[in-house]
Amino acid sequence: GPFFFCKSSSSRHRTRTFVAMQGDGASATTKNNSDLKIPHVLTVAGSDSGAGAGIQADLKACAARGVYCSTVITAVTAQNTVGVQGVNIMPEDFVAAQLNSVLSDMQVDVVKTGMLPSTDIIKVLHQSLREFPVRALVIDPVMVSTSGDVLAGPSIVSGFRDNLLPMADIITPNIKEASALLDGMQLATVSDMYSAAKLLHCFGPRNVLVKGGDLPDSSDAVDIFFDGENFHELRSARVKTRNTHGTGCSLASCIAAELAKGSPMLSAIKVAKRFIETALDYSKDIVIGNGPQGPFDHLLRLKSTSRSCRPEAFNPSDLFLYAVTDPRMNKKWGHSITDVVKAAIEGGATIVQLREKDADTGSFLEAAQACIEICHHHRVPLLINDRIDVALACDADGVHIGQSDMPVRVARALLGPEKIIGVSCKTPEHAHQAWVDGADYIGCGGVYPTNTKENNLTVGLDGLKTVCLASKLPVVAIGGIGISNASDVMKIGVPNLKGVAVVSALFDRECVLTETKKLCAVLTEAI
Ligand SMILES: Nc1ncnc2c1ncn2[C@@H]1O[C@H](COP(=O)(O)OP(=O)(O)OP(=O)(O)O)[C@@H](O)[C@H]1O
Ligand SMILES: Cc1ncc(CO)c(N)n1
Ligand SMILES: [Mg+2]
């Protein structure tokens, strides 16, 4: 139903701001270089009493991504899963006081904005950002929430366009907000989203992400990213759930968190989008409130992912020379697993999969822990074949699973959004399902007959091409591939074939380093 805007009660007289007197003026803590700098996001947004969106969503999303989040409150809303029943706008001079308190005292890496309900508030924010510049500014131009409630007056549009868009590193409007910022332009299709992203870029933001959560009857959840030069269509399966309240705020604060951790923009967005998809999938049956749009659980099974190197979003070019280990070959040649992994990486392997089909769990985990040190030292991802438990235990970069192993959706729920999941596929149907389930890449084969894997149906180059053309995910070819035929494989002419996975071509040989260098040369020549 209708709700009212009102100035907060204290606006009738100046908001009393006072400065608590410091002691002897000495700085409270002595800084030394061993102090741990934790990535820091400041969110400038409204409070959502239902806690699914706004300030509360920002705090939860940042906690889930492991960064510190300070908060400047611009408004307090009486809000729940039905909609917004009331808004109490903070006087702008008190927003300014909050901004000054945080920015003058703390090292904020990234500012993220949510509900900015008045042009006066937008102006004081603009001023503060000039006085206290930060590394990145994420503007989520909250004007209309998914519930359809307007969270800002019409004059706000010019406030955003004149004062904030030119300073933004990224703006993240939903369909309705993109329309409002473009004076009512109709957005009904994905191609409308492309046009809107390009037009919004003209207002000055370095990057634009038009979110498609509310796109009428689109089967996937599609967002369009534009950086002024290239478009990226970021797709994920649409999770069937009512619990989508706050997805936009949470996406923007997750992007801010990843930027604060040092991620480049596009990988920050990919991790953020996967975070939302994973959290929605995990929360899809939770019931909070009686209204049509419930909140979701940002803190799904918080796991301490203490990673030595920063988790990066999966990079398909990692699939270029994909080394898959085999204990029987190591035994035959008297090689240790660490020696062959070191040699493969030195020879040019871009990703390693530890495949220990018959090893007992103890020695598998020991080998995995030894290999992860080597791989992370060279910043080469290490995947574990099939065994999710081993992957979790050694904090591997992900897993590769077959059609009869753990289902991808379960693996994704266990591993979280930023782990890499690869799936073995022989058919276009396998490839489509892998995409729907949230995999990062698919392994297609056996391309040629192989004795590394028993009773393995050979798909040939035609089968490989058919699967690649059907796959929305990057593909690595596998099965009987070596120096003599790798070039033929890479030249089938499909853009998402990113590399070849090999076993005996590297590991059933006297010198792994020499063989890997030769294969690397053949592949480099072929692309
Ligand atoms: N059902 C869904 N399944 C998967 N992803 C979704 C779903 N709904 C939205 N998303 C994603 O969540 C992000 C937020 O998009 P959305 O359009 O919901 O923003 P919003 O309307 O600003 O949300 P809110 O205002 O409720 O915070 C986008 O990346 C979008 O693709
Ligand atoms: C306070 C607040 N900020 C942002 C949104 C966006 O959904 C919301 N619903 N409520
Ligand atoms: Mg929103």
Please work out, in degrees rounded to the nearest 5, the angle formed at the alpha carbon of residue 135 by the alpha carbons of 134 and 137: 75
- How does pLDDT run along the chain (527 residues), one tens digit per residue? 334 455 554 444 444 444 444 444 444 455 565 677 899 999 999 999 999 999 999 999 999 999 999 999 999 999 999 999 999 999 999 999 999 999 999 999 999 999 999 999 999 999 999 999 999 999 999 987 666 777 777 789 999 999 999 999 999 999 999 999 999 999 999 999 999 999 999 999 999 999 998 887 778 899 999 999 999 999 988 999 999 999 999 999 999 999 999 999 999 999 999 899 989 988 888 899 999 999 999 987 554 343 344 345 689 999 999 999 999 999 999 999 999 999 999 999 999 999 998 889 999 999 999 999 999 889 899 999 999 999 999 999 999 999 988 999 999 989 988 899 999 999 999 999 999 898 999 999 999 988 887 777 899 999 999 999 999 999 999 999 999 999 999 999 999 999 999 999 999 999 999 999 999 999 999 98
> Active-site residue 247, yes or no?
yes
Q: What pTM was computed for the model?
A: 0.64
CA dihedral angle for residue 114, residue 115, residue 118, residue 123, rounded to 10 degrees: -10
- CA 220 to ligand 2 centroid distance, Å: 23
Residue 339 identity: D
Helix (H) or strand (E) holding 463: helix 460-470
Residue 285 CA to ligand 3 centre (angstroms): 22
Pocket test residue of 211, 293, 298, 437 for ligand 1, highest count of atoms within 8 A of CB: 211
* Assigned token pair, 104: 């003058």
CB 48 near ligand 1, within 6 Å: no
Which atom of ligand 2 is least distant from the CA of 48? 1
Q: Is residue 1 packed enough to be buried (19+ CB in 10 Å), middle (13-18) or exposed (0-12)? A: exposed
ipTM value, please give it. Answer: 0.94
Predicted confidence (pLDDT) per residue in 355-388, tens digit = 998 889 999 999 999 999 999 889 899 999 999 9
Ligand nearest to the CA of 54: 2
DSSP H helices, 71-208, are 92-103, 119-131, 156-159, 175-181, 190-201
Question: Which has the closest alpha carbon to 272: 256, 260, 286?
Answer: 256
Contact (CB, 8 A) for 236 and 274: yes
Looking at residue 348, what is its pLDDT?
Answer: 96
Helix (H) or strand (E) holding 227: none
CA of 152 to the centre of ligand 2 (A): 10
Q: How far does residue 45's CA lie from ligand 2's centre (Å)?
A: 8
Does 241 qualify as catalytic in the annotation?
A: no
Q: Whose CA is nearest to atom 19 of ligand 1?
A: 248
Residues around ion ligand 3, judged by CB within 5 A, are 248
3-state secondary structure of 60: helix
Known active-site residue 15: no
- Residue 211 near ligand 1, beta carbon < 6 Å: yes
Biggest alpha carbon–alpha carbon distance for the chain = 85
Ligand 2 neighbours by CB, cut-off 6 Å: 45-46, 48, 53-54, 77, 79, 114-115, 142, 145, 151, 246, 248-249
- The region that residue 189 occupies, defined by phi over 0 for left and psi between -120 and 50 for alpha, beta otherwise, is beta
- Ligand approaching nearest to the C-alpha of 150: 2
Q: What is the dihedral of CA 225, 441, 516, 395, to 10 degrees?
A: 90
**For residues 501 and 326, is the Cβ–Cβ distance under 8 A?**
no
Q: What is the pLDDT of residue 514?
A: 97
Q: Give distance in angstroms: CA of 337 to centre of ligand 2.
A: 52
Q: Is 440 in the pocket of ligand 1 (CB under 6 A)?
A: no
172 classed as catalytic:
no
- Cα of 137 from ligand 3 centre, angstroms: 16
Q: Per the structure block, which two tokens stand in for 332? A: 């035959």
Query: Is residue 249 within 6 Å of ligand 1 at its C-beta?
Result: yes
Q: What is the pLDDT of residues 97-123, one digit of tens each?
A: 999 999 999 999 999 999 999 999 999
Residue from 43, 247, 276, 293 whose mutation best tests the ligand 1 pocket (most atoms within 8 A of CB) = 247
